[in-house]
Structure 1
Amino acid sequence: MAVTMAFFRVCLVVVTAIINHPLLLPRENTTVPEDEEEIIRQMQAHEEKLQLERLRLEEEVARLAAQEALESVADEGQQQQEAHAAWDLWSTLCMILFLIIEVWRQDHQDTPLPACPGGDEDELPGLGTAPLQGLTLPSKATLGHFYDRCIRASTADAARTREFVEGFVDDLLEALRSLCDRDADMELEDFVGVDSMYENWQAERPLRCRLLVPFVPPEPYCFHPELWCCGHPVPLDHQGYGRIKVGQAGGDALGCVCGKTKLGEDMLCLLHSQSAGAQPSRGVEDLLCARESPYLDAMRVMKWFQMALTRAWHRIAHKYDFDLAFGELHSPGSLKIKFRSGKCMPFDLMPAIQCGDSDLYFVSRLSREPSGGGPASSTDWLLSFAVYERHFLRMTSKALPEGACHLSCLQIASFLLSKQCRLTGPSGLGRYHLKTALLHLLLLRRAADWKAEQLDARLHELLHFLEKSLLEKKLHHFFVGNRKVAEAMGLPEAVREAEPLNLFRPFVLQRGLYRKTMDSFYEMLKNAPTLIREYSVHVPSDHASLPPKAVGS
């Protein structure tokens, strides 16, 4: 705009000069000077004046043009800067939004697989259609020969092993009860068999029984279990755990009745950590609770249980021709029978607390599988669904065809996992994850899909389900928040209505554990065909049958 006005001014001056020039448009009353030189001099002076005016106007035009150009550049730079700032802001907001969506998807999104009570492979999305990375299973004949020769033959004496261990544990617990005062000590109930040995899918050697020993406090005391899904919200790392509050049946006061009863010499009260001969203290810190807390301390309970078992064994050791020892320091309930031949028979004996009238049990440590995490404190007790899992498998087996392959799939997968753990060490994938995956598939598949001749297809599907769950870092607990489980199972309503519990949540938080687990899993798939073929031809001596049955004298 400024350049246009300057150009208009120049044109106006030129037109004015032309109009006023005396030679071009002479006025009628103008008198021509007599002196020609004077006229020429005036014309030259006027011309110089016009040239000076033209130069001044050109300089002004150039100055205005330069000023307008600078202003235009400045405006353009400011607009670009504002555009860049706006773009950076939107980029940051989009990144934050994507992160929020990803975290929500990993931890809170609940997209259960649809139930397919009468469907086929096409009705199971993502299963049975896509190839499993790195896995080519041997033929049906080779797979069946491997199972019969390696797994079925090596676990043929499982029933005899259970019978022997149960008889010995009955004798051990009876000796322990005889050392207790019914009016002052906790009462030990009958043991409950759980896990693979009682679900008929044990594949590891040596065979290992796992037994829960429920106990209750003496009158007037009682336990008040508190589930994580009842009451106030709890952090994610507390999900699946609970606490047990100790109180009196008629009130909240804590105390001990060992001072009201005379105990035997060197006998321990099951509520106190000190001997009965010492002066009893009424403080909470003297109970098997955490210090200054009314909640049971799992570690202190395990130490008490270990000491009690030691005294009970010393009482009956003369009856047997073998020794009893603790198997693992980090798991006081792990025991092993040591025969004179050098063979061992391990078993787990875990103190447990029943949750009300249900089949839920609180245990200090049941599974020996690496999970990438643990309880947040010693007052957190793991909630075990082992009894419900045994009932579900037993109830489902009745509806499946004779000789169904569901437990065979689980045994083969467990066998492959145990061999891989021996090669590369434990990872974040454990036997409990394998069983959870199978339980989900049993609920999704129709009964006719589990015939014996479909072993290879179902094994491939089980491993594919695991791969999909690992890639998504999401494997929901089978019972917690699963409304597809029949109400006839008798699960507490609080557990059925709870939010689904992701067993693979440690993989979201621990990248190193996740990377190691994925590497180990895919290496297991890669080694599986070769391992199955080799064991089909030759079973190593360490996988042979157990030593002859030991008999108590």
Structure 2
Amino acid sequence: MDAIGFLFLLLQSLMQYLLPVGEIEDEETRLRMDLFAKQQEEERLLLEQEMEQLTLKQSIVEQSLQLLVIAGLLVLLLVLWLMGCKRSLRREQPEEDDVGNDLEDRIQENIGRTLVERIQWPVQDLQAGCEWTTNLMNNYMIYFGHVMTNSFYPGLQRAIGVGSAFEGWSPREQDVLYKVLIPMTPPQGHSFHLELDSAEQRHVRNFRVRVQLECTCTKEQQAESMLCFLHHPEEELRSNQDPSLLDTLCTDSYLDVQKTARWFYQLVRAIWPALPQSHNWHLKLLPSTRSCQFQVTSGRKIFRIEMFFGVRRGDSDVFVSSQPREAHTQSTAWPETYAVAELKFFQYIARQASPDSLHLRCLQFFSRLLLGIGFSTYTMKTIVMHLLNTIPVSQWSRRHFLRRLIDISESLRLSLEVKRLNHFIVGNQRLPEEISLPQDVQMAEPPNLFHRLAMDPAAHSQGMGEYLDLQRRLVAVLKPDD
């Protein structure tokens, strides 16, 4: 509380002290005094509230000033780079040379080259790792097909590499995680029905996969010696046929993620000795309840692989998968995932980009800059995807490198200020035509990835502070040499 508040309380105490101290027998006088005391208490509380609001406003102003200082530093960085490079290039050229657009292009090229050279990039060969993982998964799929023939476990389709490594970048220095999604189809005599879990209105949409038995009383299926789960006696089914999927991987008629994960682990362990990779590589299974994680090593080479499994929504690029999107996900909950659609977006950009495009370097640079700061790599990935969808891919070359880094930083700042960052896939009407979305996903209101900041002022204040930390790191890295 400041001096004004202190003087107010002191004056109030003196006034109360100067009141008559003798016995007060007049009831009306006593009531007036009580009323006066209540008014004084209300005024004191009101003053305290005003002081708290004033303190909060001062904090906001100070934070805004810090943001303006950081933004000014970034602009100053760009000016210093331009001035230094222009002086350097002019020394190399005769004064009579045309120093118009060509000079500006050379300045930007010099800035980009210098920045790329001074940034310590991780030594990674993601393409080789993705190819090795894909080859391993193809071999596994061959044996999965043999093992699953005529069984009543889900059918397994060809694995799809997803996530940062298959998109061409990785936030990790060395321990890269290669993620693959394995689409599942219902076995014969069964069908899958996706049901949206509307019991809770969550930021993440969860589905349940209801398994339903189908009649197989046809001549073709009878010729395969398959009994109908619906119309044959239960005793005959137990004696002559394997249990249905409902009796193995389901809980209350719904496909159970944890049971499915345990089944995957058994398959991976049992099939590994038959694979050609087993002769030179060592398999180590890693704990997980909603996926199958394992590590393969050969000398100093190490690959960490995580196998998720899911069910495709129609013929789209959207799946419901075992990968959890929030803590304490129920075992029968299958969150909606857009990993395949995001992969196809990066593949589309790669086909449009020139070989020297640095859009993935920009993403990798910020993902490493975020280490120890609260923003997720998915936040930066979302921002970069939005920018890639609005800025022509031709403007992500080396001579645009500094400008794009500043664009990414500014996009994050603006998103924090308005407390909103739209999901890139859901509700996006400007995606490439080759990305197929279900109608409800395409027309939905984009989820706000910063919804927690909008609901919690303390979280928003913390986010702004983390942004300032990020900017200090960015300025330190980009600061031109004296």
Distance in 1 separating the partners of 2:452 and 2:158: 35
Question: Per-residue deviation at 1:457?
Answer: 1.3
What SS class does the counterpart of residue 389 from structure 2 fall into? helix
Distance 1:518 1:411 in 2: 22
Select which of 132, 135, 140 maps to 2:71: 132
Question: Helix, strand or coil for the counterpart of 2:181?
Answer: strand
Q: CA deviation at 1:130?
A: 9.1
Give the Å deviation of 1:318: 7.8
Q: Is the 8 A contact 2:296 2:302 kept in 1?
A: yes
Any conservation in 2 of the 1:191–1:212 contact (CA below 8 Å)? yes
Corresponding letter in the other structure for 2:344: H
Q: What secondary structure is seen at the aligned counterpart in 2 of 1:246?
A: strand
Bigger Rg, which one: 1
The offset of 1:409, in angstroms, is 1.5
Instruction: Determine the structure 1 residue equivalent to 2:249.
Output: 288
Q: State the partner residue of 1:236.
A: 202
Greater shift in the superposed pair: 511-520 or 350-359:
511-520
Q: How far is the alpha carbon of 1:432 from its aligned partner?
A: 1.5
Contact 1:404 1:452 in 2 (8 A): yes
1:437 shift after superposition:
0.9
Other-structure match for 1:525 = 471
Match of 1:411 in 2: 364
* Matching residue within 151, 157, 160 for 2:128: 160
Q: In structure 2, do the counterparts of structure 1 residues 205 and 178 end up closer, same or farther at CA, with 3 Å as the change threshold? A: farther
Q: Does 1:301 align with 2:260?
A: yes
Contact 1:158 1:197 in 2 (8 A): yes
What is the Cα deviation at residue 433 of structure 1? 1.4
Alpha-carbon displacement from aligned partner over 1:353-411 (angstroms, at most 9, x marks no partner): 21111111222117xxxx7x436422221222122112223334555566333322212
Q: Secondary structure at the match of 1:489?
A: coil
> Gapped runs of 5+ residues in structure 1?
1-69, 88-127, 252-256, 263-275, 422-426, 537-553
Amino acid aligned to 1:219: Q
Deviations 1:448-487 (A, max 9, x none): 6434311111111112212332344321111212334455
Is 1:433–2:379 an aligned residue pair?
yes
The yes-or-no answer on 1:247 pairing with 2:200 is no
Contact 1:143 1:532 in 2 (8 A): no
Amino acid at match of 1:495: V
Q: Which stretch shifts more, 515-524 or 459-468? A: 515-524
Letter aligned with residue 217 of structure 1: P
Amino acid at match of 1:221: H
Shift in CA distance, 278/415, structure 1 to aligned 2, threshold 3 Å: farther
Contact 1:134 1:526 in 2 (8 A): no
The change in CA–CA distance for 1:461 and 1:305 in structure 2 (over 3 A counts) is: same
Give structure 2 stretches of 5+ with no counterpart: 1-25, 44-66, 82-107, 217-221, 228-237
Match of 2:415, as an amino acid?
Answer: S
Q: Is the 8 A contact 2:194 2:207 kept in 1?
A: yes
Which of 303, 310, 315 aligns to 1:352? It is: 310
- State whether structure 2 residue 155 is matched by structure 1 residue 197: no
- What is the CA–CA distance in structure 1 between the aligned matches of 2:418 and 2:163, rounded to whole Å? 27
Amino acid at match of 2:368: F
- Aligned partners of 1:242 and 1:381 also within 8 Å: yes
Residue pair 2:257, 2:334 contacting (<8 A) in 1 also: yes
**CA distance in structure 2 between the aligned counterparts of 1:491 and 1:317, rounded to whole angstroms:** 38
Alpha carbons of structure 1 residues 318 and 491: separation in structure 2 relative to 1, 3 Å: closer
Letter in 2 for 1:174: I
User: CA 1:506–1:134 in 2, change beyond 3 Å: closer, same or farther?
Assistant: farther
Q: Matches of 2:391 and 2:289 in 1, distance apart? A: 39
Tell me what 1:39 maps to.
none
Please provide the CA RMSD for this pair.
4.6
CA offsets 1:163-215 (integer angstroms, 9 cap, x no match): 22221222233233333333433221111112222222335332432211112
Percent identity for Structure 1 against Structure 2: 22
Structure 1 residues 356-505: aligned runs within 5 Å: 356-365=314-323, 373-374=326-327, 376-399=329-352, 403-417=356-370, 420-421=371-372, 428-446=374-392, 449-485=395-431, 489-505=435-451
Q: State the shift of 1:519 in Å.
A: 4.5
Report the AA paired with residue 352 of structure 1.
G
**Partner SS state of residue 254, structure 2:** coil
Distance in 1 separating the partners of 2:461 and 2:255: 36
Equivalent residue of 2:255, what SS? coil
User: What do the CA deviations read for 1:308-333 (whole angstroms, capped 9, x no partner)?
Assistant: 11111133378422211134546643
Is 1:215 matched with 2:215? no
Match in the other structure for 1:63:
none
**SS of match in other structure, 2:260:** helix
Paired residue secondary structure (1:202): coil
Q: Please tell me whether the aligned partners of residues 313 and 438 of structure 2 are also in contact (alpha carbons under 8 angstroms).
A: no
Cα distance in 1 between the residues matched to 2:157 and 2:178: 18
| Structure 2 CA distance for aligned equivalents of residues 464 and 181 of structure 1 | 54
TM-score where L is the length of structure 2: 0.66
Distance 1:433 1:182, change over 3 A: farther
Q: 1: CA distance between counterparts of 2:183 and 2:240?
A: 28
Tell whether the 8 Å contact from 1:326 to 1:332 is kept in structure 2 after alignment: no
CA distance, structure 1, for counterparts of residue 182 and residue 123 of structure 2: 28
Contact between 2:70 and 2:472, CA under 8 Å: does it hold in 1?
Answer: no
TM-score (norm 1): 0.58
Secondary structure in structure 2 of the residue aligned to 1:374: coil
